[in-house]
Structure 1
Amino acid sequence: MSSNQPYLTFHDGRRVPQLGLGTWKVTGEDTAPAIQAAVEAGYRAIDTAYIYYNEAEVGQGISRCGVPREDLFVTTKLWNNRHDRDSAKAALQESLDRLQLDYADLYLIHWPVPKESRYLEAWEALIQLHDEGRAKSIGVCNFQLNHLQKLLDKTGVLPVVNQIELHPYFQQTELQAYHTDHGILTEAWSPLGQGQALQDPVIQELAHQLQATPAQIILRWHIQMGRLVIPKSAHADRIRENFNLWNLYLDDAAMARIATLDRPDGRIGPDPELFHLMKG
């Protein structure tokens, strides 16, 4: 197990492991073993969500992993159809019951769903959940500049993190700059571009030069950029491989080469301004 896991600090003063395990599309009997493999490898952060339909299985993995609860950092998320205040608060309790936990280390609004115009009410509910101690830290996913500014203008409370699609082909530099200016950590979902970036000639060349895997090159790029990152896998070998990057270092020239891979059309997932799936 590696002891080199770096931590970052939220603006609320709490620390978070920089590299975590994502569990999107990790379901059923694969889930608990993946959690156990990750913890054995050295991961201490686990990311799930109501809409992943695996919170119960994630909870089983947590209960079996042999690490004290206070040493783990568990994130889950509020789905789009629960943005009203009472429903948002109830949704967290339902998630905690499935996870078999008393609190979430981080609770996130999964999408802003601006078409419904209720994300502000959801944010106010999360502030209350934080005050009650059921969510130790609170944040958002997929929020754009105008959504974040509205939270600040209306509540004076900014999320500790914004979890967004971010990979070499879609780097969101303007949004990241806003995060930096306002003390919000950037967390990358789909950090490998759903595997597409692994085949890029620049990534392949750097992997060959540094005797690393393409995934390790990209994950190390995220780490050196100061982001939180949550690669997902259900395979123990891949989970260990993704974590085994602390002796890897990308010099300025390598970092600059990856920066050039950004594309105007690089988004793979939904556009947050348009995405409004409500079914849960």
Structure 2
Amino acid sequence: MNLPIFGLGTFRLTGPQVIDSVRLALALGYRAIDTAQIYGNEAEIGQAINESGLPAEQVFLTTKIWTANYAADRLVPSLRESLDKLRRDQVDLCLIHWPAPGQAIQPAEYLDALAEAQALGLARRIGLSNFNIAGTRDAIERLGPGIIACNQIELSPYLQNRALVDFLRSQHIAVTSYMTLAYGKVLADPLLQGIADKHQASVAQVALAWAMQLGHAVIPSSTRREHLAANLLARDLSLDSEDMNAIAGLDRGGREVDPEGLAPVWD
């Protein structure tokens, strides 16, 4: 299964809320779900997928290893625990959640452990999340070319991350955009609203379509059926070159997520 370009994010969704979100999304046609160990919702996601009746191979599942599990003797066992919660023998994609330069575990240790998890068949593909150019380059040197499948990064019309994106593209590493709506800030943008009006679409659909048209995957989250359905329609929205050039001008380095001790020095 190729890396899907559209999926459901589940950050900050827990308990019955995440069960309902995943259940609704799958019923509407979503076939990719993104989670992480630190989200505390893997068991509920596993339950919702299981109750959907869809075969496991039809739902692309991504999880991310949390920093507490980076040690060589913890990463694989922690992924096995995640798989138990998710009711899977294997995830489609497993990512290192943050480079976490502020902690004692060195990248070589957790990268080797991640590669071991893949070799054991616990993850079909492996990758990174929130890594800068230097960190990604080091990971490629450690694991070899063609191993890192994805880097999941914050990316929105206000944070277009061009240097990192260009580097990842040169290395044939897929980009997954999270926070594509910048915590909802882009929804009030007059330029994006004008483009939305032009296409009889919503601003959210424009932002998501923009990212996908650049070749990035997106993983918006919602708990409301109407928003889940509307987001899905972004796949059918085609922006013209005038639209894309106008959105390119919105980049202002507007980063929303920058946790001390976890984040790298950004490009």
Q: TM-score range by the shorter chain?
A: over 0.9
Is residue 2:265 matched to residue 1:276? no
Instruction: State the 1:257 CA deviation.
Output: 0.5
**Residue 234 of structure 2 aligns to which amino acid in structure 1?**
L
Instruction: State the 1:204 CA deviation.
Output: 0.7
Partners of 1:207 and 1:213 within 8 A in 2: yes
For 2:261 and 2:206, how far apart are their aligned partners in 1?
A: 31
Is residue 2:24 matched to residue 1:37? yes
Instruction: State the 1:104 CA deviation.
Output: 0.6
Is residue 2:59 matched to residue 1:72? yes
Partner of 1:189: 178
Instruction: State the 1:180 CA deviation.
Output: 0.5
For 1:275 and 1:232, how far apart are their aligned partners in 2?
A: 26
Partner of 1:200: 189
Aligned pairs for 1:1-280 within 5 A: 14-116=1-103, 117-157=105-145, 158-264=147-253, 266-270=254-258, 274-276=260-262
Identity across aligned pairs (percent)?
Answer: 38
For 2:36 and 2:222, how far apart are their aligned partners in 1?
A: 15
Superposed CA RMSD in Å reads 1.4
For 2:199 and 2:214, how far apart are their aligned partners in 1?
A: 18
Instruction: State the 1:244 CA deviation.
Output: 1.4
For 1:132 and 1:247, how far apart are their aligned partners in 2?
A: 38
**Residue 232 of structure 2 aligns to which amino acid in structure 1?**
F
Q: Unaligned stretches of 5+ in structure 1?
A: 1-13
Partners of 2:62 and 2:92 within 8 A in 1: yes
For 1:218 and 1:120, how far apart are their aligned partners in 2?
A: 36
For 2:141 and 2:214, how far apart are their aligned partners in 1?
A: 28
For 2:191 and 2:24, how far apart are their aligned partners in 1?
A: 30
Partners of 2:42 and 2:85 within 8 A in 1: yes
For 1:217 and 1:189, how far apart are their aligned partners in 2?
A: 15
SS, match of residue 164 in structure 1: strand
**Residue 210 of structure 2 aligns to which amino acid in structure 1?**
W
Partners of 1:56 and 1:99 within 8 A in 2: yes
SS, match of residue 107 in structure 1: strand
Runs of 4+ in 1 over 6 A off after TM superposition: none
Instruction: State the 1:268 CA deviation.
Output: 0.9
Instruction: State the 1:31 CA deviation.
Output: 1.3
Partners of 1:35 and 1:65 within 8 A in 2: no
**Residue 169 of structure 2 aligns to which amino acid in structure 1?**
T
**Residue 105 of structure 1 aligns to which amino acid in structure 2?**
D
Instruction: State the 1:128 CA deviation.
Output: 1.1
Change (3 A) 1:255 1:95: same
Instruction: State the 1:223 CA deviation.
Output: 0.9
Partners of 2:67 and 2:97 within 8 A in 1: yes
For 1:119 and 1:36, how far apart are their aligned partners in 2?
A: 36
For 2:100 and 2:152, how far apart are their aligned partners in 1?
A: 15
- Matched positions, count: 261
For 1:206 and 1:276, how far apart are their aligned partners in 2?
A: 36
SS, match of residue 92 in structure 1: helix
For 1:205 and 1:275, how far apart are their aligned partners in 2?
A: 39
